[in-house]
């Protein structure tokens, strides 16, 4: 008899308020995470789509990195490492690859025998998104890197 009344109270009671609030909270957290992940996946997908010339943005980056690989000196590689230092760790390799591609493109188009410091600075400025130009200038000034010859490339 005691068990019957206990089972009846369990079956008829609704979930507690804290449980429902917890479920609602985690629903929003998971939906938010999926939206953020979807945004970054869409950006990556758009980079892989071919342009009018038949190559995607990533194909061109790989092309310029491979074409200029023989031009990179140890000094230029060390300077590139210094330039990508402010980029957060998980994104540093991707940023380094895209900046190296831009630097390589500039060096190859200049028909240089090696990647110089000027190529690195110019490529770094061009490869940096416009929304980050304020941080770019701050970083260059903090490290006493002369960017005045390329100031016209920076849109503050």
List all residues 6 or more positions away from 137 whose beta carbon is below 8 Å from its beta carbon. Answer: 147, 154, 156
DSSP state of 53: T
3 band by pLDDT with thresholds 50, 70 and 90: low
pLDDT digits (tens, 9 = 90+) for 7-22: 555 555 677 888 889 9
CA dihedral 36, 87, 126, 124 (to 10 degrees): -160
pLDDT digits (tens, 9 = 90+) for 61-112: 999 999 999 999 999 999 899 888 888 888 889 889 999 999 999 999 999 8
User: Quick check: 145 pLDDT over 60?
Assistant: yes
Based on the number of CB atoms within 10 Å of its own CB, is 106 exposed (0-12), middle (13-18) or buried (19 or more)?
buried
Name the pTM for this structure: 0.72
Beta carbons within 10 angstroms of residue 120's beta carbon: 25
The single residue listed with the structure tokens 């190296």 is 100
Percent of the chain with pLDDT over 90: 35
């Amino acid at each position: 008899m005691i068990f019957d009344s206990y089972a009846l109270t369990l079956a008829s009671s609704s979930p507690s308020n804290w449980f429902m609030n917890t479920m609602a909270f985690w629903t929003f957290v998971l939906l938010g995470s999926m939206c953020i992940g979807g945004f970054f996946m869409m950006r990556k997908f758009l980079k892989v789509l071919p342009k009018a010339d038949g190559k995607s943005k990533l194909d061109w980056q790989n092309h310029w990195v491979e074409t200029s690989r023989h031009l990179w000196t140890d000094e230029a590689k060390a300077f590139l490492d210094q330039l990508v230092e402010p980029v957060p760790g998980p994104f540093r390799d991707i940023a380094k690859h895209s900046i190296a591609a831009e630097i390589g493109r500039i060096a190859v188009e200049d028909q240089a025998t090696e990647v110089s410091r000027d190529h690195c600075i110019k490529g770094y400025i061009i490869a940096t998104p416009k929304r980050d130009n304020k941080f770019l200038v701050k970083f260059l000034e903090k490290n006493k890197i002369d960017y005045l010859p390329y100031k016209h490339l920076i849109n503050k």
